[in-house]
Structure 1
Amino acid sequence: MNSFLTIAMPKGRIFEEAADLLRKADFRLPPEFDDSRKLILEIEEENLRFILAKPMDVVTYVEHGVADVGIAGKDVMLEEERDVYELLDLKISTCYLAVAGLPNTKISDITPKIASKYPNVASSYFREQGEQVEIIKLNGSIELAPLIGLAERIVDIVSTGQTLKENGLVEYAKIADVTSRLIANPVSYRIKEKRITEIVDRLAEIVNQ
């Protein structure tokens, strides 16, 4: 069992793109890998164990060493600020963090309210702008906040901008570009450096084509 290298993978769109990337790098993932409802999958011929997790939890699993490496969005890494090594930009799941709100509106001079599922990113951004704000943490449907008067601005991930448009919101500022990154637990990287470096090299060859 100890010969397995454990990889934490986020469920959803990133998982699909990451699995495709692994296959292009000649990792032998079986077809049922994509459709399984299991949370732990072992690929014996590759000596790989995969933990399927919520995107926000991947960095936690890697930091605590229950996963040797993981695939995490840069947005999660900026928000969580975990003690992990960032090894490779996989250049998948491209999007960006932005400030948005109702069109033609100014934020209040007195402690405006900002809704986001990225409270640390939002707080840091507005602090850098010299603005003191109140952060309201939400876990979903962030676009709803300005529409019901809960917040004057939101900080959220933008992919195509279609969700903002459909809800009558506009983008006011871009905070940071986001792609998925290959990350590693510092201790695992020292102990299993050869194996992890092999994975990095194989993926990098595909990513940089």
Structure 2
Amino acid sequence: MSSQSLILGLPKGSLQNATLDLFEKAGWNIYVSSRSYKPTSDDKELELRLIRAQEIGRYVDHGFLDCGITGKDWIAENRADVEVICDLAYSRASTNPTRWVLVVPEDSPIQTVQDLEGKRIATESVGLTNDFLKSKGVNAEVEFS
């Protein structure tokens, strides 16, 4: 790649196909090898990387990528210091934005957020969960799952 290329992070995993479809509709052809995290494109000024969406904001923040496609939830979770240029309304299943929900078994004695005081909570988004609980005045042990 030339020194003028743009290093772009694309989400691998569940959003990968929807992302590739979005680029195809915009006129870019992206070619992905099953054994590589470096797709190619018919645009020689693009240097592409397939990366977990959870990591893209942090990689942009640290300068490993020039830009990337990820969710606002992952930017917030990683506290990435990045600028959101635009919202892309697409997902693997719908055009609705991601919603985070707190769930307990139907017969649980936990009925309110305050009932989580002193409990252990498993989540993929430790930072967001801690921020939410703090905003509600709840102290709980939050762990990654």
Shared fold, TM over 0.5: yes
2:140 equivalent to 1:133: yes
CA distance in 1, matches of 2:142, 2:135: 15
Contact preservation (8 Å) 1:11, 1:52: yes
Seen in structure 2, the aligned counterparts of structure 1 residues 45 and 134 have a Cα distance that, compared at 3 Å, is closer
Q: Which runs of 5+ in 1 are unaligned?
A: 139-209
* 2:64 aligned partner: 66
2:78 equivalent to 1:80: yes
Secondary structure of the corresponding residue to residue 91 of structure 1:
coil
Seen in structure 2, the aligned counterparts of structure 1 residues 24 and 109 have a Cα distance that, compared at 3 Å, is closer
* 2:50 aligned partner: 52
Contact preservation (8 Å) 2:7, 2:46: yes
Secondary structure of the corresponding residue to residue 84 of structure 2:
strand
* 1:23 aligned partner: 24
2:108 equivalent to 1:101: no
TM-score (norm 1): 0.59
Look up the equivalent residue of 1:95 and give its one-letter code: T
Structure with the bigger percentage of helix: 1
Provide the aligned C-alpha RMSD in A.
1.9
Look up the equivalent residue of 2:71 and give its one-letter code: G
Q: Which runs of 5+ in 2 are unaligned?
A: 92-96
Residue correspondences, number = 135
Contact preservation (8 Å) 2:32, 2:40: no
Q: How does 1:113-152 map to 2 (within 5 A)?
A: 113-138=120-145
TM-score (norm 2): 0.82
Identity of aligned residues (%): 24
Q: Deviating runs (4+, > 4 A) in structure 1?
A: none
Q: Which has the higher contact order (CA 8 A, sep 6+)?
A: 1
CA distance in 2, matches of 1:109, 1:67: 38
* 1:2 aligned partner: 3
